[in-house]
A = this chain, B = another copy of it.
Amino acid sequence: MKELTKQQSKVLACVEVYLNKTGFPPTRAEICKELGFKSPNAAEMHLRALEKKGYIAIQSGSSRGLSIVKSQQSFEPVSDSVPVIGLVAAGSPTLAEENIEKRISCDPSLFAEGFDYFLKVKGLSMIDAGIHEDDLVAVKKTTQVKNGDLVVVRIEDEVTLKYFNQQDHLLELIPANKDFSTIKIDLREQEAFVEGKSVGLIRTH
């Protein structure tokens, strides 16, 4: 895909915004009005260039016969795009831009309960649960978890993925690997925050 000039980019954005707002594409004249051009031919030329570069399609002879082929920015993606967050050793797995490794275009309803983000797994502590390094665990943000759930828990600045088991004040975070030991926390002494629970997993071979 070829690069766009600054003006072409503006025109494409104008078409996308108009389409979003009204539900149908703008005319040449409307693009001009929006961008301050004084001749419909200005818009026409930019549209032709955008067509040639493969960003839009022009239905010749039809009024407002424009359609977006390739949105320049991620305007609205076709399916939703779900952020992938690295299982950072420090800090809460926030959706802040700096923590997002990438985005994956997939439907949040892929897993029945819905989910909010993918967490990229580090380490081997859950290997016996079939969860490998670099697997993406689909996490639903919730604090409503029950014993046996696979949960994302934050303790101080550390985020971890473990099985959840709580009896009164004693929280156990149980790994699925005999080489790792269960994390035991007395909630009267130390805080632990349930960030969410795993509702699924995807892996790329």
**Chain A residues packing against B (C-beta within 8 Å):** 19, 22-25, 27, 57, 59, 62-68, 77-79, 104-107, 109-112, 127, 130-132, 135, 150, 198-205
Contact = CB atoms under 8 A, between A and B. Distances in A.
A118 to B, nearest CB: 11
Contacts of A199: 204-205
Nearest to A57: B23
A156 B22 CA distance: 53
A11 B177 CA distance: 59
A112 B136 CA distance: 14
Contacts of A200: 202-205
A67 B64 CA distance: 13
Given A27-B63, A200-B204, 18 more contacts: A19-B23, A23-B57, A23-B66, A23-B67, A24-B24, A24-B25, A24-B59, A24-B64, A24-B66, A64-B64, A78-B78, A78-B107, A105-B109, A106-B107, A107-B107, A130-B131, A199-B205, A201-B203
